[in-house]
A and B are shown apart, each in its own frame.
Chain A
Amino acid sequence: MRVSGNWIAVIISVVLALVLEFIRFPDLIANARPEWLTLVLVHWILRRPDIAGVGFGFVIGLALDVVSGSYFGIHTLALSLVSYLLVGMQKRVQLFPIPQQAFVVFFLVTLSLFIVYTFESLLSVPDNLISIFLQAFTSALIWPFFALLLDRISAWVR
């Protein structure tokens, strides 16, 4: 029962992040859009490392590939690597205070976007580099609130 409740929470959070990915922002702040799906991935690896790991990162990456219309595999590669790193340091990051966690989020989002940037510049036309840091920054900024929201959702489902 408990485990299935967790899966429902995971699915709800992924759907929520997908909806957020699709929301239209004004052009001015569109460059600084947080990476919602990456945040969901980080949250679940930190909270439930037993059900979310590199495989989950792969699935989230697949969703991002479809959402962004990039070649299949670019985001899966980036998020697999990110989740691999995070699984390695999960025990420590879990205990970090929130600001320090946000810093880790900044690092991870930057890394994933940079991998995506590298592959896109090899295969097609990439985003600009400044927007990578902007997006990582807003992701880190919104992380405490988003993590709180996801915690609320999982508490509510259970």
Chain B
Amino acid sequence: MNPNNRPRKQQKGTPGQQTRWWVGLAAGLILACAIGGVDARVSAGVDTNRPAAPEWLAGYQIRYPVFVPEAASLTAPNSVMVRLPTGGWLLPDARDVAVQGRDGRLIASAVLSHDPRGFTLVQFKRREHDEWYWIYGVHPNPPPAIDAGLLRQIQAADAVARKALTEKMEMQKLSAQAAEALRAVRDRVDQATATSNAAAREIASWEPLLAERQAKVDAAVAQVPPADAALTAATAAATGARTIAQERLARVQKLDGEVRAASNTWGMARSAYLVASNALAAAQAAVKKATPDKIGAARQAVQTATEAYRTSEAQIQTTGKELTQRTVQWREAEGAALPERMEATRLETLMETARQDRAQKAAQLQKAQASVGEARTARDRAMSLRDSSAAILTEAAPQLPDLKEAFEIRHTTAEQAAVAAQAAVAQHTRLVADADPRVLREGLTVEFRDWAGDELTDWATVYEGLNRSESVIGNGIVPAILQNFNPVRRSEPRNFAASYRGYLKITEPGVYRFLINGDDAAFLFIDNYKVYSRKGSHAPLVGRIPMYGVGEEIELEAGLHPIEVHQVVGNTPGAEGRCALLWLKPGASGWSLVPPPAFSQSLIGTPAGVEARDGKPVAIIGWGIDDTLVSDGVFLSLVRFQAVGSYPDGARLSWNFGDGLSGVGETPAHVYFQTGDREVSLASHPTLPPFKRRIHIWSAPMPTSPFSLAAVVDVFRGWNPDRLSRAQLDSMFAVLTLCGQTNRWDLQERLCERLLAQKDLDSQYRMAVQVARMDARAAGGRAAEALNGYRAATNEVNRLRIPRMRLMMEGARIQQVYLRDFEAAGRLYDAILDEGRRIRHPVVRAAATARGDLYWDAGDWAQASAAYRAAADLGSDAVADLDPTGADQDATRGALLRVAEQALKSGDMRQSQRLLKRIERAFPEQKLEGFYRFLRAETDRKLGAYDDAVRNYEAVLKLPAWSSYRAATLAGIADAYARAEEWNQALEWIKSLETGFPEFYAQNGYAATATRWAAKGVATTNSLATRLMDFDFDHTFPRVNENTPDDVMPLLGRENPGVLLVAIEKARTQGLRYSLNLPKLTAGGRIWVEFWYTAEGTLAPPFDDPTVTIEVKGDSDEISRNREGLDQTYGDWRKYAHWFVAPHSDSAIVVLRLGALTRGLYQFDDVRVRSVSDAEAERLRQFIEGTDPQ
């Protein structure tokens, strides 16, 4: 059970019960402290009853009973560390601390770290198997813990021991340096030897290869001359044959020319013959036709033609003979030339073959020669390497014996120094054995301080800065040196110093290399000797870290070595506050985190209560961030506090929350509006100063609870507005006007009154406050009074038209919604329209639309239609565009409607609603269309706005053109009433669906739905139980066998209804499983699961974070599952929370598994599973999205 809402009865009970609860709380505060090499086990059989308390130590005002869970079963370690909540009670140096055993005797103790506004780390020697001790505090003049003479001896021995340790470390550093020099030379020699050997092997392999390849060259060389000779002979033969062939060819060509000439001559003679023949024929024909007087001439012409004919005939014969003769000669010559030409061709082929053969032989020779060249080059390179390696060996190898000797000398010296130092330390240890538990060399702590230094340039500067950094802001007992952020200021990882102090347990002597990987400067000291420095501003190394070149080496002997790590993160942008100590162990092949077993660990005690000497009430502060909500630039953090201690009446506890506000009670909740540190105080004891505690508010990465807004309003209700600062008033106003909670009205009215009394209120803000006050009054049933406020407010903004119109809108809304005076509302809307038409402001369009709604509700569709259409011409909120080239083309109404429909179908109701509202603003006349109304109704119904949904559904029913939607509309109305848990109405509408659309009714299984709704209606009086289910772990948590180490052991919390303590012994091997039934689920919707646990001890988790897996299983094996890291919020108490989709069944099972729990004691408190209604989810969504969602 969350302490915020259920007081812990045991705190008011017997001291024993209080103690048990206290042990539980504190066990959770230091979870990680039990991680380590010890073999601790807390079994269910351990007697945890506190023994009778010893007599009070004189002078001390308070004491804390401390329980050491593992003391009964373990024989080692020898000391106990306790993280004691002392905030503000102790002296500045916390020397007023003393530890007492059950026998009443004092036990040597030491304060390891003291945070005046937080915890004090105390260490003391254990008394065998005693489980109970008492730590005292608050003494005005505490006695010295040690006798003065002994103190002087101890101081002297301490000085000797420190000096001896320093000398030892110097010797060991020299030894490490010698080892490094030896390693470097040895590495060089080894490398040269290896190189030389490899080169020799290579030379040896190349030599025979070279000879073999040379032989191939020789063979190839021998083949070249014969090829040359053959080529020469072939060339000569081919040349001779070619000459003869060419001569023959020349003759053939000459004869060919003569044949052509003869042919031409014959051709001309033939042409002349044909001409003469034709002329003769013509002359003869002319004789036949000639008249007697011309016959003579004709005959003469025949004579002449005949002569010509004969002459040409003779010529043709002569030239024909010549042609024949020449042709015969050409053929003879051609025939004679052919054999020579063929012979020449053959010989040329032979010559070409010989040439190719010669080229092949030359290529073979060249290849063989190249191969020899390669082999020779490789051999020469290997020889060169061999020679250079030999030179290195000649130079370095002789150094080895000297270096080896030097190392051995230094190593021996270091060993001797180590022995001397051990002796000196032993002497000191003997002296302080009973005076200072630190000599036991156990435990690892960290202390965080505000960094007050300047530079990070070197250790001297940082040391000076650390000395100035006196403000301790946190401390803890840790298992390893590892932080992934600033654990005490999660939201501000800069300007802090972390100092880790503990003892390194070396089991394997040798040379170790250390590296601190983190943000900015870091320094490592071992045995008071500075081993490693990282100066200046740096980001952490990422990726694979090289083995050498980073870090520093030191030789360490086996045993325990004091170790300190100082890390400083300056004002470095991007710093995350990381720090990790890594090492390279002897022989290791890579860096690794120095693991928890490498540190000497102590037992961890848990404060089990706080008591005042005078028996009066006394309490300290526990706290945790419940939720973080951000909206419209307003941040608010809901924080839970609880008083832990001995007090009979929680109502007398007085709190100061550090922001000017105060409260009373044992489990108050508070709201902070800003991140950062706050100093919270709790006054419980009449004379003791208030307990003070620094808390850090930050925006925890956690799902926001749908129930937090109601809790925030409850917190506000406890505040006195007169004590709030203006900033708080502003934030509160913003939250109240956005949260949508129905329990806020009276508070909102009071706040508005307070704000209106402010003189410097901006007029627009003032108007918003006026409107909020009117709203509150009207919602509170005082609508008439609200209207009075409206009139007064109107006078205030009379000269400002737009604010006045906004106010008139609000007045109209009150008239319409609360007074049902539609005429008056209409008049106001009309007045806005009359005045505002020229202004073109969106408020005017809104007034017109609202006017249309009024008409619509009155059934005057014509007027409504006119009003909607008129609204479309009034001031739009769309952006006008003056640029003709870049005109905004806003999405069309049809496109928006389609997108809205798709969003609705895909289940994105919020987006669908946003789009539909956007459509309504841009296109008011859309309200006249049934499809738009139907989509609005569907969206409103699923977002929990049931009234709006029903109104829109009814609008669809009124539109005859959309009768096809009638069945779905009836079903929607019925479902809206069912979701609103108005079962009778729901059943009436489902009945009308059955009557009107029996087929639709049957197809969609509404009969079963109606039956379920009827059953719900019977059980409606139990609706709260239906929706709110709180389960404490130990109600059903099984008591397990103590011999089953992998299970859970309910230990100290078993008598405490509300807290489960879990002892985990083996990191990551154990977990727990828990399941619970969820009956009577509301169909659909979602489920919210949250639980609280203590987690301060997870500071610097070295391994995987614990994980949580939650499954919600419905009746039909429908499962919603989530698995993630457990670490979510921050504070003493942390919260895990997640949403789940509710199964579509009437009941479900929630299964919760916690795994990878690191070793230690866990305290789990209050698993809460709630069904989240649509309206609750929607209110949260609206708050987060703010006044102007997309």
Query: Do A and B form a real pair?
Result: no
User: Which residue numbers of B lie inside 8 Å of A, CB to CB?
Assistant: none
